Amino acid sequence: MAGPDQYFQAARERLAFLEAQRQTLQDARASYERDAARAEELLERSWRELAGYLLPEVHDALLVDLEARLSYPGLRPIRDEYADRITQARARRLELAQREEVLHTDILVAGVDDQLAEIAPSAEAFRRELDVWTCSRWFQVLEAAGWFRPDYAPGFFARIRDWRAVSLLLDDLEERDPDLAFDDPEALKGHYHRLQADSGAVFDLEARLTARRAEIEALAREHEALTEAPANLRQQMYVALAAALRDHLEACPVELRFELAHDDPHLLTFFKKISGLDKKTTYLRELSITRIGRRIDELTRQLNKLQRKLQKRSVKHMRGRFYGVSQAELDGLRDLKADKWARRHLKLDKLRRRLAEFDRWESGSIGDHVLWWDLMTRGAPGDDLYEVRAFHDRWGPSGPPEDHPHAKRAATLGRACDDLSSQAAAALAQDMLAQSEADAQDDWGLDAS
């Protein structure tokens, strides 16, 4: 029987150890995700490079040839659309170049500014006086009641209410500004109507001048922007063409890719690199879930379970009701399997580096007769990934037969890179068997109870 002190010490040491393993796994997951992001960046760059290879220039003869080669008539319509936009931009720029707003921008803006400066004192004075009126609560009441409108026709009680508001407004205005002292309500109303008319004329002129200034500057900016428009539109056109090429090629079946790559080793290399980078990205992201994320979740459950048990027994111990545990339970807590955990972390890092550093795209294939996983990891076990498990379930450790349709198509290309893929697949068979036997001795048991 092990005493309480021995139990609590062993439990806390195990908690600390498992927490350290979880942190190491979290760091590993971050590394996998960073490498996946880098692979995805390379994938995007490879698609751009492929577009540049297929479409080094945009002219009619090349587009006609490429459309025929790809059986895709969607390139020239894109070119024509942007050509029309470039023509329109050039015509608009020539039109603007004749406008006085473009020819004499500075002079016109200066003239408008002079006029704005001339009316600014009057506009500011009107705003200040209007503020005196509109800030009065009684003005707001009368304005809402329509007292200042010609069609004002209140009922009996409304007239009494508004009469009181008029009296209070007279006092309020005189208190705010002695110049706004009126002898009777009609004088008050007449002054406000004149104020509205006079200020409205000034404000309308100010608004027209401000709009004119904005129009002059907008036309000048548009003319300047149109100077760069043809170059910008050509760049946008190339991006649109590249996107269309990518969409078409991604939708192409493998057989058509083989056909397109016939007698074009460079295109075949692009296809292989893109296929490999896509698989690399997928593998890294899936592994961060299947081999790391799930293990982190399992460790978290085990940590929570042990923490609850430790808390419960601590309470019992304080109440004098916990006397210790069996020697077997104590030994289980102390058995951290540190060496085994270290090997697991090392394997994870080694697998990540193999995937991240792989760049022998010529050894792969665009067909499904070669498994990129086996090439990249040198046959490491990967049946926790659906693609790998399905491939091995279907073909076994020796891989597809030599008469597989995609293997035949790859062979007919007569390219050295396809020969390499066949050699690599055969060479990996022994590695896979040896690696599987080694990994069978190193499972992922995480019992921390």
As a three-state string, the secondary structure of 129-147 is HHHHHHCCHHHHHHHHHCC
b/e map of 390-407 (b: 16 or more CB within 10 Å)? ebbeeeeeebbeeebebb
Q: How far apart are CA 387 and CA 33, in angstroms?
A: 19
Between the alpha carbon of residue 119 and those of residues 106, 126, 132, 208, 220, the distances in Å are 20, 11, 20, 12, 25
Query: What residues in the chain have per-residue pLDDT under 50?
Result: 414-421, 424-425, 428, 442-449
Q: Report the half-sphere exposure of 274 (CA within 13 A, side-chain side).
A: 20
What is the DSSP annotation of 395-438?
A: H-TT-S-TT-HHHHHHHHHT-HHHHHHHHHHHHHHHHHHHHHHH
pLDDT at 447: 41
pLDDT at 395: 81
pLDDT at 120: 96
pLDDT at 187: 92
pLDDT at 437: 54
Q: How far apart are CA 163 and CA 71, in angstroms?
A: 85
**Token representation of residue 220:** 């000048």
- Residues 6+ away with beta carbon under 8 Å from 154: 145, 162
pLDDT at 324: 79
Helix (H, G, I), strand (E, B) or coil at 57: coil
Q: What angle do CA 79, 84, 85 make, to 5 degrees?
A: 100
Spell out where 247-398 has E strands: none
Q: Are 411 and 418 in contact (CB under 8 A)?
A: yes
Q: Are 206 and 119 in contact (CB under 8 A)?
A: yes
pLDDT at 155: 86
pLDDT at 37: 98
pLDDT at 416: 41
Q: Are 78 and 237 in contact (CB under 8 A)?
A: yes
pLDDT at 248: 94
Q: How far apart are CA 83 and CA 77, in angstroms?
A: 10
pLDDT at 404: 58
If you ran DSSP here, which 8-state letter would residue 180 be given?
G
pLDDT at 177: 85
Max Cα–Cα distance, the chain, nearest Å: 112
pTM above 0.75, yes or no: no
**Token representation of residue 259:** 């056909």
Relative orientation angle of helices 294-318 and 4-54, to the nearest 10 degrees: 160
pLDDT at 244: 96
**Token representation of residue 386:** 């659906």
Between the alpha carbon of residue 70 and those of residues 75, 81, 257, 366, the distances in Å are 10, 20, 9, 17
Q: Where are the alpha helices (DSSP H) in 288-337?
A: 294-318, 327-334
Between the alpha carbon of residue 150 and those of residues 188, 193, 340, the distances in Å are 14, 10, 95
Burial class (CB in 10 A: 0-12, 13-18, 19+), 54: buried
Q: How far apart are CA 293 and CA 29, in angstroms?
A: 7
Between the alpha carbon of residue 40 and those of residues 37, 70, 266, 288, 356, the distances in Å are 5, 25, 21, 15, 11
pLDDT at 149: 87
b/e map of 174-197 (b: 16 or more CB within 10 Å)? eeeeeebebeebeebbeebeeeee
Q: Are 438 and 350 in contact (CB under 8 A)?
A: no
